[in-house]
Structure 1
Amino acid sequence: MSRTGRKLKLNDEDQKTLVATSRAHSADHRAVMRSKIILMLNEGYSYDSIKAELKVGREAISKWKKRYLESGLDGLKDAPRPGKTAIYTEEDKARVIQKACSKPEGGYSNWSQRRIAKEFGMSQSTVQNILKSHDLKPHKVECWCGKSTDPEFEEKMLNVVGLYMNPPENALVLSVDEKTQIQALDRSQPELPLRPGSAKRLTATYKRHGTGSLIAALSVHDGEITADTIDKNNAQNFLRFLKKIHRKYPKKQLHVIADNLNVHKHKDVKEWVDSKQRMTIHFTPTYSSWLNQIEIWFNIMSKDVLKGAV
């Protein structure tokens, strides 16, 4: 005779939950099967009938019946498993974190995962997981801009930003600076152009032709660039360039934004600018040359023109 065993008596709430789970398309397959076993037992089905219908073993039917009788619906959930014993303790992980946050020895500027792993006799992947779990990236460096020591920082900053945002009528705002030490390199062999399946190629060997410097003025509101190459970054070349842009825009009131480089404040420059009614120099605050828009243009030029070029 087929075994039926102890009959179940489901309360209405458990029966509704089990029926809903057994019919849910998104429910876990194991939860569906366990719900159907309990429901069929409740309806008086024999073990053999349940086995044939659900394709499960008699041991599984007996197990989930027993678990339900002991713990109700909670008994149909997976029991917690102990899992694999951890190889490294929390103290080991704390030492990895402390090492990653400390200054490296041996002249290194930063810790690599490989060197930390070697230090503690761990695998690199273990170190990577420990650091990742604490959102630590010792290989990355971010730069930040400290507070300017200029006591007139706010006044100068507002003056420069004001010229950008709301320039005076019939005025031209010119952002001026020098880009020095531009490497004049030539490759020892011709460049091989980009082709399908092959990147642009340059020889690793090159010829040095010294360095060059560029002085440039960006007309902030229309994007026009005026530039000259210079052999030296000195007051004479800066003054010569100011005279050039003064001649180039004869009918405009010129507001020149420059940083605090000594050549920009040379007495010859100051005397000449003071003698011109159409030109005024506005200096950025100390350690705040990033306020000068020409720096953005120099960065674009370095990326798009100088990098990887001849």
Structure 2
Amino acid sequence: MDFFDKAGVMAIGSRLRMLSEQLTEEATKIYDLYDVGLKPKWFPVFYLLSHDESKSITQIATEIGHSHPSVSKIVKEMIKEGILSEHKDKIDGRKNNIRLTPKGKEIAIQIEDQYLDVRNAVEEILNQSTYNMWNALQEFEFLLEQKPLLKRVKALKKNREAQHVQIIPYAPKYKTHFKELNEAWITQHFKMEDTDHKSLDHPEDYILDKGGEILVALYNETPVGVCALIKMDHPEYDFELAKMAVAPEAKGKGIGWILGQATLEKAKSLGAKTVYLESNTVLKPAIHLYHKLGFEKVVGYPTPYERCNIQMAKTL
């Protein structure tokens, strides 16, 4: 157990697999002890059918939580041993039902003593345990159902990586990054337009000198994201959130979310009441991010972009 002491809870899957293998090996010997002609892997299917007259393979798979191919393979093995038989459904001729054969029913009677002794033996172990593993497994499975392990790991990974993200004001040395990061995503999905060239080639004239702002996201001191606030001459909208781009290699770290929040906070510090943006619905991750940031769909404002098919705004 030295490995598990070193690896700790990270090795929970390996430890459960080892425990499963140990119990399966013992179960094989227990079946031999009671002279019951079953294999441990057959037990879920056998037990289910010994309490129900017949079921389809799909029904069996659903109820015991196994895959359809796995159940199909087990059923074929048990049919070959004469324990199960397959019959056409009386109502739906396209469906086959599985049931115990007379031999299978005899085993169901014979195995009752084994059930009693095994149940009592397991309960004895549980009663001797400080922690009831059966109850703990039920709780653990419930928690995984609410939020899978992968989703939990992804969230923690994103939070950890976010600690390496720094949002800073634009400086002339980031002009090339501002342009290249935006050109990359625009040319991947669309084409560069006149307004793109103006804002990306001359960010000082087109954005900063008119009262706008540009923020830069650094990851481990490397520029990986940018976003601009463009001052608007509009009775309802104060700034346009525009030219947000994140380097492909930095995606999945939550940088877009951090950058978006920082940009909205900057707009608020500048006295803005509303922020507007334009996008395209083909950019599903971006639209999802905007919704998450609190933007809602609006209509009616003329756009200089051919690619724009959705306009959104947020009240600060």
TM range (shorter): under 0.3
Of Structure 1 and Structure 2, the greater helix share is in 2
The two structures have a TM-score, normalised by structure 1, of 0.21
The two structures have a TM-score, normalised by structure 2, of 0.21
